[in-house]
Structure 1
Amino acid sequence: MAQFANMPEPDYDRDRDYVRSASAPQVFDPSRYRVKELDAANIPRLFAQRGLSADTVKALAPFISLVSDRRNENFNGYNIGFPYTEAGSDKTVGYEIRGMGGYKSKAAGTNSSTAAWVADLSHGNNGLVRHAFFCESAFDAMAFFQLNRPRLGEDIALVSLGGTFSDRQVLGVMERFPNARAYDCFDNDLAGRINGLRLMALVEEIPLKITKTPEGLMVEAKGKSFPVSPDRSAYTQFEPHISVRYRMGQWQPPKDFKDWNDCLLGKRTSIKIFPPKHDRDDNLAEQRASGLKI
């Protein structure tokens, strides 16, 4: 698996709070945070604002905490904390944190290298988990669960990687659930497509290189090079060129929605991952005319 250590990771601007927290040279100190169990009789209204029902919150309550940073002098209340754990351990090594007003971050020193938020609905019977659903945030994972719950059993695990992710986060989850098939539930945008390709490369053990191009993405794998359009499923575009073992599946949001939480909220979006060619040509002409250096 070491061959994936140098896989290029996407450089994009979203989830800056996640990136800053993940790169902070700290070790998670649990004593810094006051932690309370989520009271099913007093559910924070933030869940309802995100379209998440009381039934969904109650079902996933064992994997959610309320946390307060003792060092935060500006806010002494509690935010929602999604505890990060590593394979083979129940020890909390950080939190994905969400609060009112769109606040999102990670607890200082959160282990974003080998840990993730994992909601194991098999009641601890890791070997029985057959499906591991990977999302970019815990709220997306909860929304996915709520929207598709009638089709899901108890042999599943919901996973949040917290935005950008490391190879070891994915591999650690798959080590935890050795009989599970991984599912790409990432966002319908450029970063989501890159995340899906990276997940597939790790699960299928296929080293690959991803390069951004004006039209989308160029993928190099097993001596082959082929384009991947961000507007379509990356997996279906990859499959005709490279044989896979089907250790990974896709269960992405409907194309009219950026992510699963937007889908739950009915928040449709017209995603233009790349502008049309004539727009790119016009922009280039304008930049040249104005003397800007390209």
Structure 2
Amino acid sequence: MANGELTYDDFLQRLDIQDVLVDAGYHLNKRDGLRYPSYIRTDSNGTRIRGDKFIVTGGGKCCFQPPQQKLYNIISFIKSFPEKFAEHRNGVSPDRLVNLVCNRLLNHPIENRPICIIQPKQHSRPFSLQDYDIHHFDVNDRETHKRFYPYFKNRGIDIFTQRAFAGHFFLATKHRTDGLSYANLAFPLVLPKEPDKVVGLEERGRPKMDGSGSYKGKAEGSNSSEGLWIANFSGEPLHQAGGVAWFESGYDAMAFHQLHRDTFRDNPELSKKSVFVSTGGTPTDMQIRGMLSATPNVNHYLCFDNDSAGREFVNKFRLIAKSMHINPEQIREIPLMPCYKDWNDALLGKTSEEYLDSIKDAVIPLSAPLGTKGSTAGEEEVNEQSTIHR
């Protein structure tokens, strides 16, 4: 300790991870029959927020958020979840935030110095497709297909689906000033009013060797607020489309098409008149308004992710459509089985963690007596005593 200031070692020795969890808004879950204490959050109605739980490890110095096994001590927890603390401000460095939170918890006064906020770069270079080397998928040339293999293999998207969408994706390679170059799978973004002008790219990188995921984002300078990936199978102006299907990523749109391949094959007119749209993430007002303005009399099918954010997007879409006097009958949802987060997960048969967490209380152990039923809310209310083993 120098000049009365506390160090990270002081914080780790004098604070417990449970102190930090409580300060972050978590409550001890007395009904959880685990060996170690678990902490949960509740909403404004006192209802538990599913999937937001931390389990404290032995000694009380670390915790982890199941099903992940990554351990957090008080330092890494504050740095990983800064938004959970009152001292958090945009631009505050993680180390400064740790000092502010820990000193407050220890009732130790700290010098109140002005916060230095780094201003974001105000101007970025406008997007230009000329900055990239483009490699197209040619349905008549198998040699061009090979470079796309690693981008689609782990997604379960087969060669037939790739051929169906061949004109709507490519590989974009950008050369950096340091001599390095990198390639991404690119879904070109356009404006509904100018469908022939590329204003950005929805990008996906190659999966990592350990299978832990890959880069996803948009190319520098992309018009993310208005640009959409639009796969127009009809070749006609958008207002003549038979229907527009909305997704949060190009991968999801391709997965949806593959899952419903038989339907499209048996109804060729449906396939020819279909338009697939990706917002490349969170849908913006301008993306929705731009497409609705170009297709005011076309049916729109919402295929957003099957999570709380996706459901909010559906509500947002309907409100915008209502404000534009679009017939509500034209806005429809295509349901996804509750066990899947998105259409690509459905194609892969990958069950979502949110769904597993929501049904865990209804799962009956194999060793349970015949006729045993899953726990109910009423039974939980009766069982008030703590089941934590210390």
Give TM-score, length-normalised by structure 2: 0.52
Counterpart Cα distance in 2 of 1:265 and 1:181? 28
- Equivalent residue in structure 2 for 1:83, among 188, 207, 211: 188
Q: Which residue in the other structure is 1:186 paired with?
A: 304
> Please, which moves more after superposition, 255-264 or 121-130?
121-130
Q: Which residue in the other structure is 2:241 paired with?
A: 129
- Equivalent residue in structure 1 for 2:315, among 172, 189, 197: 197
Q: Is the 8 A contact 1:93 1:110 kept in 2?
A: yes
Counterpart Cα distance in 1 of 2:281 and 2:293? 21
- TM-superposed deviation, 1:73: 4.7
List alignment gaps of at least 5 residues for structure 1: 1-12, 14-22, 208-243, 282-294
Counterpart Cα distance in 2 of 1:64 and 1:125? 20
Counterpart Cα distance in 1 of 2:331 and 2:122? 31
Q: Deviations over 1:224-243 (max 9, x none)?
A: xxxxxxxxxxxxxxxxxxxx
Q: Deviations over 1:266-287 (max 9, x none)?
A: 1122425997999xx9xxxxxx
Structure-2 change in CA distance of 1:187 and 1:73 (3 Å): farther
Counterpart Cα distance in 1 of 2:328 and 2:165? 31
- Number of aligned residue pairs: give it: 223
- Equivalent residue in structure 1 for 2:156, among 51, 58, 63: 51
Q: Is the 8 A contact 1:204 1:248 kept in 2?
A: no
Counterpart Cα distance in 1 of 2:285 and 2:248? 14
1:107 aligns to 2:219 (yes or no): yes
Give the structure with higher Rg (CA).
2
Q: Which residue in the other structure is 1:94 paired with?
A: 200
Q: Is the 8 A contact 1:186 1:193 kept in 2?
A: yes
Aligned residue identity for 2:314: G
Counterpart Cα distance in 2 of 1:24 and 1:162? 23
Counterparts of 1:242-281 in structure 2 under 5 Å? Answer: 245-272=328-355
Aligned residue identity for 1:113: S
Q: Is the 8 A contact 1:32 1:71 kept in 2?
A: no
Q: Which residue in the other structure is 1:158 paired with?
A: 276
List alignment gaps of at least 5 residues for structure 2: 1-79, 81-120, 208-213, 265-269, 362-376, 382-390
Secondary structure of the residue that 2:199 maps to in structure 1?
coil
Structure-2 change in CA distance of 1:198 and 1:131 (3 Å): same
Structure-2 change in CA distance of 1:206 and 1:104 (3 Å): same
Identity %: 32
Aligned residue identity for 1:49: N
> Please, which moves more after superposition, 196-205 or 157-166?
196-205
Structure-2 change in CA distance of 1:163 and 1:25 (3 Å): farther
Q: Is the 8 A contact 1:187 1:252 kept in 2?
A: no
CA-based RMSD: 2.9
Q: Which residue in the other structure is 1:29 paired with?
A: 128
Aligned residue identity for 2:341: K
Counterpart Cα distance in 1 of 2:262 and 2:167? 20
Counterpart Cα distance in 2 of 1:260 and 1:145? 9
Counterpart Cα distance in 2 of 1:100 and 1:94? 19
- TM-superposed deviation, 1:149: 3.0
- Equivalent residue in structure 1 for 2:231, among 113, 119, 123: 119
Structure-2 change in CA distance of 1:272 and 1:255 (3 Å): closer
Q: Which residue in the other structure is 2:290 paired with?
A: 172
Structure-2 change in CA distance of 1:180 and 1:24 (3 Å): farther
Q: Which residue in the other structure is 1:67 paired with?
A: 172
- Equivalent residue in structure 2 for 1:38, among 133, 137, 141: 137
- TM-superposed deviation, 1:174: 2.2
Q: Deviations over 1:16-62 (max 9, x none)?
A: xxxxxxx9843213332222222342331121221111111111111
Q: Which residue in the other structure is 2:89 paired with?
A: none
Counterpart Cα distance in 2 of 1:25 and 1:189? 34
> Please, which moves more after superposition, 29-38 or 254-263?
29-38
Secondary structure of the residue that 1:111 maps to in structure 2?
coil
Secondary structure of the residue that 1:78 maps to in structure 2?
strand
Ranked by relative contact order (alpha carbons within 8 Å, sequence separation 6 or more), the top structure is: 1
Q: Is the 8 A contact 1:118 1:157 kept in 2?
A: yes
Secondary structure of the residue that 1:257 maps to in structure 2?
coil
> Please, which moves more after superposition, 256-265 or 121-130?
121-130
